A and B are shown apart, each in its own frame.
Chain A
Amino acid sequence: MLEARDLVAYRGDHQVCHAARIDLAEGEHLALLGPNGAGKSSLVLGLATLVRTGGELRHRGAPITDAEAYRRHIAVVFQRPLLLDRSVRDNAGLGLALRGVGKRERDARAENELARLGVAQLADRSALGLSGGEAQRVSIARALAIDPEILFLDEPFSALDAPTRETFIADLARVLRERGVTTVMVTHDRDEALSLADRVGVVMNGELRQIDTAEAVFGMPADPEIAAFVGVENVLPARVERATDELTFLRIADRHVEITEPPPAGDDFPLMCVRPDDVVIAREAASSSARNQFPARIMRIEPIGRRTRLVLDCGFPLIAHVTRQSARDMALAQGDQVVASFKATVPHLLPRIRH
């Protein structure tokens, strides 16, 4: 559907984002994830030909030479709803009006999309009197009314309060599934990316650094910065002791670790990534399939949302997440001795970045 090669997005004369390669399949949902100011929005504006770009951009296999014609096949929803001082119905039908669609058909299609987004009852109201959530629903209805081939969503939920946002994400996920529209969504929220996307691209410091399935990005981040951003809190310097066909034997501080992933070629000092959710805590060592078990002392206990974060010292620092219920049931307290374990299949190795 959309291919980008060496795409560079500019703001004024400044290059703000580069993507070596993006291949967007028909019906696919891609989330662009990254910290604030990383260049995600600029990349989306570049893909939508709304800022100056360099490199190659192809739509349905053909190079995009007429940006205005290409933009008739896409729609963009921004962080703010950007509605006009008209009725909700007129706003939802605006894209159709720009395409010369007659008023009767325009109104019917606009009302249909408003109903799909759950705001049909607002059709006669002024768009300027809507709440943030309502206005953003109208904005998405406006985008979907033109039946776009590609829908770009630039952090459409970020201005909404938490409850509105959760309902909105669920509704949008449903609508996007029903419509099967190809979607590129910008977000800095990992949960949003996981809720709506088939693939995730990570943008950091003006570069699309990794693009893969959500499982791969979150499980096997391409570099330590991505690992830190996607929540892999344990990025530990390791030394490869030896490797067999089945296992790689690592040394971290004075501890031995066994993992199934082969070591990076030519790098005997990789970084080992373990997601805190993959670390299991027990009061005593138990016979289990986990190849890695370490006696550990709880250095700190911090509640984070519906989970508890444990900072452990097991010869090297290790972070573990457990449910608040588990922490209560096990009566975990600072200074307690526990056993931390993870399976050999869990860790992911990154080549060490050397400057």
Chain B
Amino acid sequence: MDLILQGIGGAIAKLAALDPDVMNAAVASLVVSGAATALAVVTGVPLGALVGLTRFPGRRLVLSLVNTGMGLPPVVVGLFVAVFIWRSGPLGDLNWYCTRQAMVVAQYLLAAPTVVGLTAIALQSIDPLLRVQLLSLGASRGQAAWLLIRESRLLVFGAAIAGFGAVISEIGASLMVGCNVKGDTRVLTTAITLETSKGEFATAFALGFILLAIIFVVTAFLTYTQQRRTYV
């Protein structure tokens, strides 16, 4: 019990002092996971709309793959990305191994299936006649898709929240492609692992508090945006 209390006390002191290592890891987590989630939303929502609103051969297979992707183990994603960006790998010339770019790619691959899958489900749950109604009002297919995405924004924001939650708290992929470089690719989760293995519970607790706070603040912001009505 003393160990826990000492750890929490030390964490509060580090947070109050804005410990540079803790702050750097927090910023790295926000930048990497924020960028990966943003990319997943920008590409995943249109893809989800395509899968949810159109009929094409192999659509069910695509949906199955997307659903499988929602449960991808981060270490497997980390392994594939590492193989691709390894010096002798197909994308070795990019020199992305042990960089934040590599972590963004890995986290993007983890978040995107969630965003695509949940967006597709959101659009499939809308009354199909609403799309016909929009087309009858003169909407192009693109305009109709955009209006339907806006109409299902509650679930689309839910997809973004789920995607962010999945990547900010993952550790395997970040560790494998980011290499946990202090002050650069060391994010909150990899830092917590490292500090715990060293017995530095105060730092680990401080990092843990910040991770929880970030998840709460970002999710609360997205939830607020999700619930906000567009009309007044």
**A, B from the same assembly:** yes
A78 to B139, CA, bound (A): 16
A75 neighbours in B (Cβ, 8 Å) = 136-137
A75 to B136, CA, bound (A): 6
Interface residues of B in 148-162 (CB under 8 A from A): 150-151
Do most interface residues of chain A lie in helix, strand or loop, or is the interface mixed? mixed
Q: Which of B137, B150, B232 contacts A98, CB < 8 Å?
A: B137
Asked if B143 is at the interface of the complex by the 8 Å CB criterion, the answer is yes
Question: Which of B75-83, B127-135, B197-205 interfaces with chain A?
Answer: B127-135
- B123 CB, min distance to chain A CBs, angstroms: 14
A99 neighbours in B (Cβ, 8 Å) = 138
B147 and A146 contacting across the interface, CB-CB below 8 Å: no
A76 and B136 contacting across the interface, CB-CB below 8 Å: yes
Q: Which of B130, B135, B151, B231 contacts A50, CB < 8 Å?
A: B135
Known: A71-B138, A95-B138. A78 touches B133 (CB 8 A): yes
A74 neighbours in B (Cβ, 8 Å) = 136
A157 to B135, CA, bound (A): 22
A82 and B231 contacting across the interface, CB-CB below 8 Å: no
B136 and A126 contacting across the interface, CB-CB below 8 Å: no
A38 to B232, CA, bound (A): 43
B130 and A98 contacting across the interface, CB-CB below 8 Å: no
B133 neighbours in A (Cβ, 8 Å) = 76, 78, 82
Q: Which of A80, A90, A142 contacts B137, CB < 8 Å?
A: A142
B130 and A86 contacting across the interface, CB-CB below 8 Å: no
A136 to B151, CA, bound (A): 19
Known: A84-B147, A84-B151. A98 touches B132 (CB 8 A): no
B143 neighbours in A (Cβ, 8 Å) = 98
Known: A76-B133, A78-B129, A78-B133. A90 touches B138 (CB 8 A): no
Asked if B196 is at the interface of the complex by the 8 Å CB criterion, the answer is no
A68 neighbours in B (Cβ, 8 Å) = 138, 140
Asked if B230 is at the interface of the complex by the 8 Å CB criterion, the answer is yes
Known: A75-B137, A95-B137, A98-B143. A126 touches B231 (CB 8 A): yes
A99 to B231, CA, bound (A): 21
B140 neighbours in A (Cβ, 8 Å) = 68
Asked if A323 is at the interface of the complex by the 8 Å CB criterion, the answer is no
CB 8 Å contact bits of A123-165 with B (1 = contact, 0 = none): 0101000000000000000110010000010000000000000
Chain B's closest residue to A45 (CB) is B132
B129 and A80 contacting across the interface, CB-CB below 8 Å: yes
B138 and A72 contacting across the interface, CB-CB below 8 Å: yes
- B132 CB, min distance to chain A CBs, angstroms: 5
Chain A's closest residue to B143 (CB) is A98
B230 and A86 contacting across the interface, CB-CB below 8 Å: yes
B127 neighbours in A (Cβ, 8 Å) = 80, 82
Question: What are 15 sample pairs from A and B whose C-beta atoms fall under 8 A apart?
Answer: A50-B132, A50-B136, A72-B138, A75-B136, A75-B137, A76-B132, A76-B133, A80-B127, A84-B147, A86-B231, A87-B231, A94-B137, A98-B138, A142-B137, A143-B137
A positions within 8 Å CB-CB of B: 45, 48, 50, 68, 71-72, 74-76, 78, 80, 82, 84-87, 90, 94-95, 98-99, 124, 126, 142-143, 146, 152
A76-B136, A78-B129, A126-B229 provided; 7 other pairs, C-beta below 8 A? A48-B136, A71-B135, A71-B136, A80-B127, A98-B137, A98-B138, A124-B232
